[in-house]
Amino acid sequence: MRWIVFCALISAPAQADPELGRRLFHDPALSANGAMSCADCHDPERGFTSGAVGGRTPPPLHVATQLSVWGWDGRHESLRAAILAPLTDPREMANPDADAAARRVGLVDADALADAIGAYLATLDSPPPTPEGRGAELFRSAGCADCHSGPLLTDEGFHNLGLSAFGEPSQDLGRMRVTGDPADAGRFRTPSLRHVAQTAPYMHTGHFRTLEGVVRFYAQGGGKVWARNAAEADRPMYPEAARLDPRIRPLDLSEDDIAALVAFLKQL
Ligand code: HEC
Ligand code: HEC
């Protein structure tokens, strides 16, 4: 009996080390050409994001360990998958094999790498004091809190804000790329707003450099998706991509309201 307990203890994985994870996060040796680290795209100095790469911005990582779906289109169903995907993505770290990349930096396998980086990511969040005042009220009355809900300020749902660039070279149909369902055309995951003051540029496209720009975008009723000609209008996807979430509609916000919302967002 005692022997069984002892075996269970020695075969349990060692507690993952956040400091090791932090070093690995900054280590370009994880990429095939030895030149790219996680931190190049998820720059700690820039709220763990950076400008858009390949059409999408790297999401900030402060609450990555607390989410239940990962990626702007929700393509990753586990944190492990989201951490390991860049290792073998040909546009990112381009390794033929994630285990081999982990062994190159002295670990036993990719699981050990995901555990260590996960332990580091778990240290990044610090919950803010609950903001109060007019901005907080506006955040509710303007409908922001419908989608940016709960402690992480996300419902982890997918919504169409009119940012799919339908019909343009940069078109990105978001969630539909994962589900294949036309009803998902142009839908993206609601991002957490924790630490949002530090995480510019905003949206999956990185289109907005300031929070004021984002709030004005909502005030005007979101983005516009239009067909430039009959052929585009005939595409079966067009009505789907053009159908914004019903909560995205022009808001009656004064200049003071906009300033109060921005001040609120900066406290999150
Ligand atoms: C070349 C830039 C680049 C590199 C290098 C990179 N990432 Fe990312 N990362 C992204 C982008 C872009 C996304 C969003 C992908 C999407 O939604 O299609 C992302 C998504 C993620 C997510 C999901 C976050 C969320 O909120 O959904 C995690 C976690 C993550 N990366 C961790 C890492 C780790 C750990 C490394 C290093 C092993 C790394 N990334 C390397 C660009 C990068
Ligand atoms: C219908 C759901 C919904 C509502 C309502 C909503 N949002 Fe969003 N929000 C989203 C989604 C989805 C995104 C990401 C869209 C994208 O990148 O295509 C987003 C992105 C953002 C971002 C950018 C965050 C980042 O890291 O890039 C901010 C800031 C933001 N919203 C604030 C607000 C405010 C303020 C309101 C109210 C005026 C609001 N949202 C209302 C769903 C919503």
- Closest ligand (CA of 162): 2
**Running DSSP on this structure, what letter comes out for residue 32?**
T
Residue pair 158/175 in contact by the 8 Å Cβ criterion? yes
Nearest-CA residue for atom 9 of ligand 1? 58
Q: What is the pLDDT of residue 235?
A: 85
Domain boundaries, the chain: 2-121, 134-265
Confidence band for 156, pLDDT divided at 50, 70 and 90: very high
> Distance (Å, rounded) from C-alpha 167 to C-alpha 30?
37
DSSP code per residue over 39-61 = HHHSBGGGTTB-S-BTTBPPPP-
Predicted confidence (pLDDT) at residue 116 exceeds the cutoff of 50:
yes
Q: Does the beta carbon of 164 lie inside 6 Å of ligand 2?
A: no
Could you tell me which of 138, 139, 134, 147 has the C-alpha nearest to residue 247?
147
Is the minimum distance from the CB of 244 to ligand 2 under 6 angstroms?
Answer: no
CATH for 134-265 is 1.10.760.10
Structure-block tokens of residue 42: 């998820």
Distance from residue 82's CA to the centre of ligand 1 (Å): 7
Q: Measured in Å, how far apart are the chain's first and last C-alpha atoms?
A: 51
Q: What is the pLDDT at residue 4?
A: 52
Among residues 80, 75, 79, the alpha carbon closest in space to that of 102 is found at 80
pLDDT at residue number 25: 98
Asked if residue 160 lies in contact with residue 187, where contact means CB atoms within 8 angstroms, the answer is yes
Q: What is the mean pLDDT of residues 73-98?
A: 95
Check pLDDT > 70 for residue 10: no
Question: Which has more confidence, 170 or 54?
Answer: 170
Q: What is the mean pLDDT of the chain?
A: 91
Q: Is the pLDDT of residue 70 over 70?
A: yes
Note the pLDDT tens digit of each residue in 230-255: 888 888 889 999 999 999 999 999 99
Q: Is there a shared CATH topology between the 2-121 domain and the 134-265 domain?
A: yes
Percent pLDDT > 90 in the chain is 81
Per-residue pLDDT tens over the stretch 15-37: 789 999 999 999 999 999 999 99
Pocket of ligand 1 (CB under 6 A): 30, 36, 38, 40-42, 53, 56, 58-59, 61, 64, 67, 70-73, 82-83, 86-87, 92-93, 117
In CATH terms, the fold of domain 2-121 is Cytochrome Bc1 Complex; Chain D, domain 2 (1.10.760)
Q: How far is the CA of 157 from the centre of ligand 1 (A)?
A: 19
pLDDT of residue 253: 96
134, 172, 184 from 231: Cα distances, Å: 47, 19, 21
Is the CB–ligand 2 distance for residue 147 below 6 Å?
yes
- Please tell me the distance between residue 215's alpha carbon and the centre of ligand 2 in angstroms: 9
Q: Which amino acid is at 3?
A: W
Residue 166 CA, chain-centre distance (Å), reads 21
The enclosing H or E element of 263 equals helix 255-265
